[in-house]
Structure 1
């Protein structure tokens, strides 16, 4: 089974097409996809988590 891809914030905002400020606002309000903060301070979002989060938005629409 392939590993779950770890996406950077830049990759996520490019994929979903929102401004960086919008994405960070969602993170601040805990409305965005769950993220992982690595020991070096970098933030990553698992591909599966991004897809799960998008699915919840579709269900709510």
Structure 2
């Protein structure tokens, strides 16, 4: 399977919180309200997922010294 045809890895909110150093769920949802969080996908059952590539890009954009 090539990268182009491989489905994107979808992370749960818990996995995203853990990757961000254990921030609270409340903080993550506050960031969503303020449109500061990475883009999420809402599944039919109401749960949220974040694509791995979207999270990586979001983190890269926030790295200190990142070009504006």
TM-score, scaled to structure 1 = 0.89
Unaligned runs of 5+ in 2: none
- Which segments of 5 or more consecutive residues in structure 1 lack a partner in the other structure? none
Per-residue CA shift, 1:2-61, capped at 9, x if unaligned?
Answer: 32100000000011111111111101111010000011111100000000100110126x
Alpha carbon RMSD of aligned pairs, Å?
A: 1.2
Per residue, is there more helix in 1 or in 2?
Answer: 1
TM-score (norm: length of structure 2): 0.81
